[in-house]
Structure 1
Amino acid sequence: IHPNDDVNKSQSTNDVFPSAMHLTTHQLLSNRVLPALDQMINQLNVLEDEFKDILKAGRTHLQDATNLTLGQEFSAYVSGLLVHRQLIIDSLKGLEELALGGSAVGTGINTPQGYLEALESAILEVTGTNYRVHNNKFEQLSLKIGMVHTASMIKALTTSLYKIVNDLRFMSSGPRLGYGELSIPANEPGSSIMPGKVNPTQCESMLMVLLNVSGNMDTLMLANSQGNFELNVMMPLMIEKMVISTHLLSDSINSFTDNCLVGLRANEEKLKQNVEANLMSATSLNPILGYEVVAEIVKEAYESQRSFKEVGIEKGKFSEEEYEAMMVKQHEQL
């Protein structure tokens, strides 16, 4: 048996390597990243339902804003991750197109009649996935568009995950001098010098992984620009970054879900205090009291460090019973 005449007959590293990259990436996303993402989405969905009736102060520009429910805030996380999930699934189609049969430069030199059909049939039998030989092998050898597209979808996912994890980290800050709206599981002692301190280690670990993966995807995409003429010789770098990143991402998502999201609790008393102190809650009372009246009460409440409710009652704009009725109506509108 000759290595070239028999083992490598009808094929070249130049078409086999990019095809192997597509197969590997497709399998890693399908069998590791997507299942991990599904687990996270399911747990966030559980929390969305659990928090659906808990009112909280909204924040825009890092400033107080009108109220919403904690469940509504979590619904954004669920909805957004479902979008990312579908975008990754859609990107798999590009990975199902292979360079096999292109041989050395894309012409298919030294490949016999029926070779491409036999390849597709054999790969389907082994993988169970309908991979197809691309109709332009020149593109597949010199440009790595399928890999770049998938990498861009993974990078997009990391940006939204970073925002979600950071939200949870800030909402759990405290316990007394931060937001303190959420309690995260205390998986280990938080400090060697400060007793009782609980650090958001799962959040911090996840954020570092997301930055790492994001940078890896940048490297992969930039490597696509280094294809000269008929071949991109940066493929080993590209697949290295993809394999490392998919393992890191899936493992970290699973760990974050199991050790942070499961066990996450709402601090309802703190959330209630924030809502009562939130002067922006008064915005929904504009149609009832009028903008000028509401603005007058808000201004005095802010300057005197009192609640909207207290100042409004003092000014005779409403009774305590009327205020509570307006707050119930506000909650019903959310």
Structure 2
Amino acid sequence: MATSKKTAKVKNQEASTPTPGTRTEEDLLGTMEVPSSAYYGIHTLRAVENFQISRNTINQVPAFIRGMVQVKKATAMANRRLHTLPRKKAEAIIWACDQILDKGRCMDQFPIDLFQGGAGTSLNMNTNEVIANLALEHLGEPKGSYDIINPNDDVNMSQSTNDAYPTGFRLGVHNELMRLIEAYDALQSAFQAKGAEFEDILKMGRTQLQDAVPMTLGDEFRAFASNLSEEQAIMRTAAERLLEVNLGATAIGTGVNTPAGYRHQVVAALSETTGLEIKSAKDLIEATSDTGAYVLAHSAIKRAAMKLSKICNDLRLLSSGPTAGLHEINLPPRQAGSSIMPGKVNPVIPEVVNQVCFKVFGNDLTVTMAAEAGQLQLNVMEPVIGEALFESLRILRNAADTLRTKCVTGITANAEVCRAYVENSIGIVTYLNPFIGHHNGDLIAKEAAATGAKVRDLVLDKGLMDKETLDRVLSKENLMHPEFRGTIYLDD
């Protein structure tokens, strides 16, 4: 929620003697001892004490920190251009932001749990305090000298948590979503390469786990690649929606405490800072309370996870065996598979990717419920939306990279097994329908299944087709790329 106007400050040494190695800071609730070396302050310290929940902290999500700092830099630039922030303060704040963004300084100074009450106020104040103290250091002043540069009045100028936090959040998610897209693109290329490698290997296609019609193993792997290409396009669309922000809305969308022209200036400054095409939401009141962009983003992530999990199911099935399964492909062995069965090797990489995808599915429900839980002009549940989104983005990206490097690139084909399945399958009778009719095809298929005879032999024995035509229809080339489909009748 909105930050307190009664900001933390260093207490007079005569009034309070700090514990060695600490500095005394004060807020509206009283005083606390903050470690002297810490760039964060009393607001952060209270949040650390209050929210001992997951032990997963903002420190572990650098993209989120960068997003928040980019917002603070842009607001300082805008306030300076509008002459509401003195030049010396603005330059010190911008310098501090650049130290974090360009040199990675103070990335360990965000110890707050990802789970937090207050709609993100704790993280917003954590960011304000770190930037203020880094700026003070640049000016040669001791940390906590908030009469010189103040976390609220200067770093948080023209802002509320309710526009700074969601904007920084969106930037962080956008960054991580683009990294996930890159991981999917690399995995797509790996499947595409296998598709080219396996393009001449004939195999049986299957529907409902039953023999269907022939295809190539290359076709199957190229289809995996196409699946991932489609998901990248959907995730890019979702990423674009994240760049519409409510910065300038302040508390509820009315823009209270912002100078004239600020909204335009700050969005332009944020675009300049990030190199992204940032857009201001048309209705800031709606944008301040709405979390639909997060739902859309995670829905795209969930869909991408669903596609990846299905591919892993197929890889496990195609590699099943080696003697009592399909055994059409070999996955690279990664570890011994059993504590009791010698020689057993399991498809552990697709298995772990499946499990990651299941976690993403669960996170999607969390995002949905948290998005629905907002009331009136604000949704206070954004922190758990962030926790779920950033976790899904991280683990799914790692899963895609793991699948590519430890599985897909090392897959080999059992071409003879694939060929034998085709030769012994009744599925090839489908190719003969234009020549012998569906009814005869049924009879041939039924007899082949009952007797074990080959379709080719039964068709010739019954005189349903001549050998030359049959050989042409059932040639490897025609089975791979069907072109010979029967007699063409020309009307008189």
TM-score under structure 1 length normalisation = 0.94
Tell me if structure 2 keeps the 8 A contact 1:106–1:141.
yes
- Residue 235 (str. 1) matches residue 382 (str. 2): yes
Looking at structure 1, the residues matched to 189 and 326 of structure 2 have their Cα atoms a distance apart, in angstroms, of 26
After superposition, give the CA deviation of every residue in 1:82-129 in whole Å (9 maximum; x if it has no partner): 111011111112100111111111100001112223322332232111
Looking at structure 2, the residues matched to 158 and 332 of structure 1 have their Cα atoms a distance apart, in angstroms, of 31
Structure 2 residue matching 1:290: 3-state secondary structure: helix
Q: Which deviates more, 187-196 or 239-248?
A: 187-196
Q: Which deviates more, 62-71 or 174-183?
A: 62-71
Looking at structure 2, the residues matched to 42 and 267 of structure 1 have their Cα atoms a distance apart, in angstroms, of 22
Structure 1 residue matching 2:206: 3-state secondary structure: strand
Q: How does 1:110-121 map to 2 (within 5 A)?
A: 110-121=257-268
Q: Which deviates more, 178-187 or 76-85?
A: 76-85
Tell me if structure 1 keeps the 8 A contact 2:268–2:278.
no
In structure 1, the partner of 2:445 is 298
After superposition, give the CA deviation of every residue in 1:50-104 in whole Å (9 maximum; x if it has no partner): 1222111111122111111222222222222111101111111210011111111
- Residue 35 (str. 1) matches residue 182 (str. 2): yes
- Residue 11 (str. 1) matches residue 159 (str. 2): yes
Looking at structure 2, the residues matched to 183 and 307 of structure 1 have their Cα atoms a distance apart, in angstroms, of 28
Q: How does 1:295-334 map to 2 (within 5 A)?
A: 295-317=442-464, 323-328=470-475, 329-333=478-482
Deviation at 1:154, TM superposition (A): 0.9
Looking at structure 1, the residues matched to 325 and 315 of structure 2 have their Cα atoms a distance apart, in angstroms, of 12
Looking at structure 2, the residues matched to 167 and 181 of structure 1 have their Cα atoms a distance apart, in angstroms, of 11
Q: Which deviates more, 160-169 or 312-321?
A: 312-321
Q: Runs ≥4 in structure 1, deviation > 6 angstroms?
A: none
- Aligned match for 1:181, one of 306, 319, 328: 328
Looking at structure 2, the residues matched to 327 and 272 of structure 1 have their Cα atoms a distance apart, in angstroms, of 13
Structure 1 residues 332, 23: CA separation in 2 closer, same or farther (over 3 Å shift)?
A: closer
Looking at structure 1, the residues matched to 340 and 467 of structure 2 have their Cα atoms a distance apart, in angstroms, of 47
In structure 2, the partner of 1:50 is 197
Deviation at 1:314, TM superposition (A): 4.2
Tell me if structure 2 keeps the 8 A contact 1:55–1:272.
yes
Tell me if structure 1 keeps the 8 A contact 2:435–2:465.
no
In structure 2, the partner of 1:245 is 392
In structure 2, the partner of 1:128 is 275
Looking at structure 2, the residues matched to 28 and 56 of structure 1 have their Cα atoms a distance apart, in angstroms, of 39
TM-score under structure 2 length normalisation = 0.65
- Where does the alignment leave 5 or more consecutive residues of structure 2 unmatched? 1-146, 484-492
Structure 1 residue matching 2:215: 3-state secondary structure: strand
In structure 2, the partner of 1:70 is 217
Deviation at 1:313, TM superposition (A): 4.1
- Aligned match for 1:79, one of 217, 226, 231: 226
Looking at structure 2, the residues matched to 223 and 262 of structure 1 have their Cα atoms a distance apart, in angstroms, of 39
Looking at structure 2, the residues matched to 242 and 287 of structure 1 have their Cα atoms a distance apart, in angstroms, of 53
Structure 1 residue matching 2:213: 3-state secondary structure: strand
Looking at structure 1, the residues matched to 374 and 398 of structure 2 have their Cα atoms a distance apart, in angstroms, of 32
Looking at structure 2, the residues matched to 3 and 330 of structure 1 have their Cα atoms a distance apart, in angstroms, of 71
Structure 1 residues 332, 98: CA separation in 2 closer, same or farther (over 3 Å shift)?
A: closer
Looking at structure 1, the residues matched to 374 and 312 of structure 2 have their Cα atoms a distance apart, in angstroms, of 36
Structure 2 residue matching 1:333: 3-state secondary structure: coil
- Residue 167 (str. 1) matches residue 314 (str. 2): yes
Tell me if structure 2 keeps the 8 A contact 1:309–1:320.
no
After superposition, give the CA deviation of every residue in 1:302-332 in whole Å (9 maximum; x if it has no partner): 1112322343344454577664333113334
- Aligned match for 1:223, one of 361, 367, 370: 370
Structure 1 residues 198, 322: CA separation in 2 closer, same or farther (over 3 Å shift)?
A: farther
Q: Report the AA paired with residue 330 of structure 1.
A: L
Structure 1 residue matching 2:333: 3-state secondary structure: coil
Q: How does 1:269-288 map to 2 (within 5 A)?
A: 269-288=416-435
In structure 1, the partner of 2:51 is none
Deviation at 1:193, TM superposition (A): 2.0
- Residue 98 (str. 1) matches residue 253 (str. 2): no
Tell me if structure 2 keeps the 8 A contact 1:106–1:137.
yes
After superposition, give the CA deviation of every residue in 1:203-253 in whole Å (9 maximum; x if it has no partner): 000000001012112211221101100000000000111111111011110
Q: Report the AA paired with residue 23 of structure 1.
A: L
Looking at structure 2, the residues matched to 76 and 332 of structure 1 have their Cα atoms a distance apart, in angstroms, of 15
Pick the structure with more helix per residue. 1
After superposition, give the CA deviation of every residue in 1:260-307 in whole Å (9 maximum; x if it has no partner): 100111111110111112101111012223333332222111111232
In structure 1, the partner of 2:339 is 192
Tell me if structure 2 keeps the 8 A contact 1:123–1:131.
yes
After superposition, give the CA deviation of every residue in 1:145-200 in whole Å (9 maximum; x if it has no partner): 11111111111111111111111110001011111111100112222222221100
Looking at structure 2, the residues matched to 7 and 126 of structure 1 have their Cα atoms a distance apart, in angstroms, of 16
Structure 2 residue matching 1:110: 3-state secondary structure: coil
Deviation at 1:139, TM superposition (A): 1.6
Looking at structure 2, the residues matched to 208 and 330 of structure 1 have their Cα atoms a distance apart, in angstroms, of 37
Tell me if structure 1 keeps the 8 A contact 2:247–2:267.
no
In structure 1, the partner of 2:288 is 141
Larger Rg: 2
